[in-house]
């Protein structure tokens, strides 16, 4: 009874790994749209159409519930999908809300009015498309008041990570953090708003300093998914086999994924 995990590339593997560690008996079907990555530089309509195509492919694998393990897709496409496109017997969930709930110390499904929270100054690091969507600020406003968010578009970081160039990725992270700190010198918390960024979380923490709490998504998403499935067991689809699918070249993507996650992963063509 499989759950689908969709991403534009390889970053969603960090979310899949956290879900698998928390729910080892749950079959997971991963689809990376590597042929069209990265999404962070595409426009909203393009992201919407590509994300819908990816989700439909996962439905064909028996996944009635799909996690968009891609902040860009969650930011630019999810709301429109849920309002205009999604059939009533399917669910697509994003990766923003679990992180915002952790930041604002609200439980999953807490629909009470927005309230004051302890953290007042938040740094958001994300792709240019995620930053441009302002989806994080919109979702945060539903749950908290009086929080100042300074967003930094982190161009180049995803590409560097996917190329396996750790030195370049860390240099870019340092540069982006320095740019943000010039506008917000004393953030209390930092949101890593891209599922690639946990792989360079230490670089973010080092550049921000030890006093800034860094929120990373994979474990928060896995915890929220476990809670959701406990309340909605009917949303676990009919698929029974874990698979890794890609719209790109399976051999090349398998090699990159193995390097990326530091264990062997074998992709099939989607």
112 is in an annotated binding site: no
239 is in an annotated binding site: no
State yes or no: is 63 an active-site residue.
Answer: no
- Which residue in the list 52, 63, 154, 194 is annotated as catalytic? 194
- Count Cα neighbours of 57 within 13 Å in the Cβ-side half-sphere: 21
Token pair, residue 2, equals 């499989």
The rounded distance, in Å, linking the Cα atoms of 122 and 243 is 37
The rounded distance, in Å, linking the Cα atoms of 150 and 184 is 7
Q: Do residues 71 and 194 make contact, with C-beta atoms less than 8 angstroms apart?
A: yes
46 is in an annotated binding site: no
The rounded distance, in Å, linking the Cα atoms of 149 and 151 is 6
State yes or no: is 154 an active-site residue.
Answer: no
For residue 4, give the H/E element and its range: strand 3-7
Beta-carbon contacts of 85 under 8 Å, excluding residues fewer than 6 positions away, are: 52
40 is in an annotated binding site: yes
CA distances, 16 to each of 121, 182, 187 (Å):
30, 35, 29
7 is in an annotated binding site: yes
197 is in an annotated binding site: no
3-state secondary structure of 212: coil
Q: Do residues 121 and 187 make contact, with C-beta atoms less than 8 angstroms apart?
A: yes
The rounded distance, in Å, linking the Cα atoms of 20 and 164 is 24
8 is in an annotated binding site: yes
The rounded distance, in Å, linking the Cα atoms of 91 and 241 is 19
133 is in an annotated binding site: no
Q: Do residues 244 and 33 make contact, with C-beta atoms less than 8 angstroms apart?
A: no
Cβ atoms within 10 A of the Cβ of 83, count?
Answer: 8
Query: Which residues make up each annotated binding site?
Result: 7-8, 39-40, 71-72, 195-196
Annotated catalytic residues are 70, 194
Q: Which residue ranges make up the annotated binding site for substrate?
A: 7-8, 39-40, 71-72, 195-196
């Amino acid at each position: 009874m499989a759950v689908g995990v969709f991403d534009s590339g390889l970053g969603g593997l960090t979310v899949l790994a956290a879900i698998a560690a928390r729910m080892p008996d749950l079959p997971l079907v991963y689809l990376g749209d590597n042929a069209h990555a990265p999404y962070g530089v595409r426009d909203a309509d393009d992201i919407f159409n590509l994300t819908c195509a990816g989700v439909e492919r996962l439905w064909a694998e028996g996944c009635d519930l799909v996690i968009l393990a891609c902040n860009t897709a969650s930011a630019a496409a999810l709301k429109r999908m849920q309002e205009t496109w999604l059939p009533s017997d399917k669910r697509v969930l994003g990766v923003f809300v679990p992180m915002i709930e952790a930041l604002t110390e609200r439980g999953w499904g807490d629909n009470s009015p927005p309230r004051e929270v302890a953290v007042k100054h938040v740094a958001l690091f994300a792709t240019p498309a995620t930053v441009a969507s302002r989806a994080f600020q919109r979702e945060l406003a539903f749950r908290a008041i009086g929080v100042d968010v300074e967003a930094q578009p982190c161009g180049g970081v995803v590409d560097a990570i996917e190329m396996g160039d750790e030195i370049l990725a860390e240099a870019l992270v340092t540069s982006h953090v320095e740019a943000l700190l010039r506008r917000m010198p004393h953030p209390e918390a930092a949101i890593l708003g891209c599922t690639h960024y946990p792989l360079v979380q230490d670089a973010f923490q080092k550049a921000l300093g030890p006093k800034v709490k860094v929120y990373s998504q994979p474990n928060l998403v896995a915890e929220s998914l476990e809670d959701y499935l406990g309340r909605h067991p009917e949303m676990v689809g009919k698929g029974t086999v874990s698979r890794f699918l890609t719209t790109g070249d399976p051999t090349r993507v398998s090699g990159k994924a193995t390097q990326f996650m530091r264990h062997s992963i074998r992709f099939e063509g989607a």
